Amino acid sequence: MKNNKSFDRRGSGRNKKIYFNADDKKENKFGKKNKFDNKKRYVSTAPFRKKSPKTPKENDGTRLNKYIANSGICSRREADIFIQNGVVEVNGKIITEFGYKVQPGDEVFFDGRYIRPEKNVYVLLNKPKGYISTTKDEKARKTVLDLVANASPYRLYPVGRLDRQTTGVLLLTNDGDITKKLTHPSHEIKKIYHVTLDKKVSVEDFGKLLEGLRFEEGIAKVDKISYIEGAPKNEVGVEIHIGWNRIIRRMFERLGYKVEKLDRVMFAGLTKKALKRGYWRILTDLEVNTLKML
């Protein structure tokens, strides 16, 4: 056997020894020679070292559209349009770059008004009759914001609308992205209503509602419809994903029915269980995360 020789290498081989062994030609259990036969064997002589922790990256700021959305103004996509139109200023300079990043200490103005990011708040309301789902009303009627006035220090906005006489689940938030997502037709957010009519609904009309009725906006149809268990036949449960104005009432009116009560019992997986009419609660973290995954 030849004497082992070793030498140090620079670069990636530093602190390693290279051994030569011409007689190392053992066969493995499959009868084949080891693939490393007659090749250099590397054995590290340096102690194991822990990798040095990565240097934290410097704060590279927040994208301007996200900054605006987090301020409760609108969604990121809408913010891009406002930025492009020169509505936004940073430190007194109009910014039209989509990728511009706001740094700590920067002053951002939207349409001449100073803004800053807010903590996102999500409020679930069991809406009673007599309240409209707008932020303000020219006729000084009661709005849903009157009911949630103490829910958050930030301004909240209804996600979609329930008409004045409709009751039930209504989400309010200052998260522009969530609002856009839950109201955009492409996401087909599911809603379930308990509908009370002036007379029994026929099975034939069930079929018409499932097949669809034509309106100015297009064809409106329900996804599911059934009688309410244990209730008279003039009470039905309706599942629908379209969000056209007063569409449930309009569909039944087209078929000759009058809607006496309309109560939304589910919206985007959220229900009013254990929530009294006119009361609200803050969504749990799990509920918020579920909404973001829809």
Q: From CA 195, how far away is CA 281, in angstroms rounded?
A: 25
Q: What pLDDT, on a 0 to 100 scale, did the predictor assign at position 7?
A: 45
What residues does 90 pair with on adjacent strands? Answer: 93, 108
Report, in this order, helix, strand and coil percent for the chain, each rounded to 5.
20, 25, 55
Which residue would you say has higher pLDDT here, 252 or 44?
252
Q: What pLDDT, on a 0 to 100 scale, did the predictor assign at position 47?
A: 53
Sign (positive or negative) of CA dihedral 273, 274, 278, 283: negative
Which residue would you say has higher pLDDT here, 24 or 177?
177
Q: From CA 294, how far away is CA 21, in angstroms rounded?
A: 63
| Contact call for residues 93 and 78 (beta carbons, < 8 A) | no
| Contact call for residues 176 and 78 (beta carbons, < 8 A) | yes
Domains of the chain plus CATH, in order, are 1-47 (no CATH), 62-115 (3.10.290.10), 122-173+276-293 (3.30.70.580), 190-267 (3.30.2350.10)
Does the active-site annotation cover 23? no
Cα angle: 148, vertex 152, 153; to 5 degrees: 125
Query: What CA–CA distances, in Å, run from 114 to 42, 120, 250?
Result: 64, 18, 43
Read off the pLDDT of residues 134-156 as tens digits, 9 standing for 90 and up.
887 778 889 999 999 999 888 89
Mean predicted lDDT score pLDDT of the chain: 84
Q: What pLDDT, on a 0 to 100 scale, did the predictor assign at position 109?
A: 95
Residues 6+ away with beta carbon under 8 Å from 264: 162, 166, 167, 168, 169, 170, 191, 192, 193
Read off the pLDDT of residues 67-122 as tens digits, 9 standing for 90 and up.
998 887 888 889 999 999 999 999 999 999 988 999 988 999 999 999 888 889 99
pLDDT above 80 (res 8): no
pLDDT above 70 (res 6): no
Q: Give 27-54 as a 3 state SS string.
A: ECCCCCECCCCCCCEEEECCCCCCCCCC
Among 8, 111, 137, 163, the one annotated catalytic: 163
Kindly provide the b/e burial profile for residues 108-120, where b requires at least 16 CB atoms within 10 angstroms of the residue's own CB.
bebeeeebeebeb
Q: Which two tokens stand for residue 111?
A: 């349409």
pTM exceeding 0.75: no
Q: What pLDDT, on a 0 to 100 scale, did the predictor assign at position 57?
A: 47
At position 272, the amino acid (one-letter code) is K
What residues does 282 pair with on adjacent strands? Answer: 123
Q: Which two tokens stand for residue 136?
A: 């303000």
Q: Which two tokens stand for residue 120?
A: 């996102």
Read off the pLDDT of residues 242-292 as tens digits, 9 standing for 90 and up.
999 999 999 999 999 999 999 999 999 999 999 999 999 999 999 999 999
DSSP 153-219: SS--EESS---TT-EEEEEEES-HHHHHHHH-GGG---EEEEEEESSPPPHHHHHHHHH-EEETTEE
